[in-house]
Structure 1
Amino acid sequence: MAENIFDPRDLIAATKIGILATLKSSGLPQLSPVTAVYDRDADIIYVSMTDDRAKTKNLRRDPRAAIEFTGPDGYTWATAEGAVELIGPGTDPDGPEADALVDYYRRGAGEHPDWAEYRQVMVDDRRVLMVLRVGHVYGAKLR
């Protein structure tokens, strides 16, 4: 009988929606569905969020997170944990914070029809880029 080898990073690479877990000041987890972009070569997960969200505030206080991905079959899952860096928000549409969000968009969706508009929206929305450096990953294929 052939052994079923499962690499959780394969699921992370194939799945765009994850559940991000950050820690509230009480120590309880705060969970948020997010759109994630995974750079497998660097083993980094990127998530764009606004500066006023609970997850952003939690990460500014405690820069550790976990993100869970579930496969379409419902029986396959992967979790990545690691230290987080937050980039932004920026005030200049041509600044490094907007550049980082452009890179995130390109990795996840390709080219935008109007980069100037996208950059301005990132500044206006006070967007922040979460950079999770994967320190530990685990998961299972249950069926």
Structure 2
Amino acid sequence: MITRAGHIGLALAGMGRILGMRVVVVDDRLEWFQRFPEADEAIIVAYDAAMEALAPIPVTLARSSHVVITTWGWDEPALEQVASSPAAYIGLVASRRKAKQIFEDLVAGVVPAEDLAQVQLAAGLDLAPRRQTRVPSP
């Protein structure tokens, strides 16, 4: 399940399709779903930005589910809904500072810290080298 139909979600949907996964995209913007022909399902959910309230996401997550939260604005309510799920992988695309604040808010609210411990930050693969390698010239 990919939350939000932005550019990161688009890349993830393509990878999910290549890997043979069932691709479910969740967003509050109906017009963005046209970018996802490879999605098996597109789910529209209501989001109230003023209240920071997200309607329940109507997806049942299993032990084989993979979730990536890539939202701009509703990371916290989306994570609140999936953190206690049995999903094999939950990733959050957020800066460390933003993730720390989200985790603190959720622990102060209703989500046990042990449920948040399974959430992977900076979701994805680090494909860049950590240091530059010098190539000798002839």
RCO comparison, higher one (Cα < 8 Å, 6+): 1
Is TM (by shorter chain) over 0.5?
Answer: no
TM-score (norm 2): 0.24
* Structure with the bigger percentage of strand: 1
TM-score (norm 1): 0.24
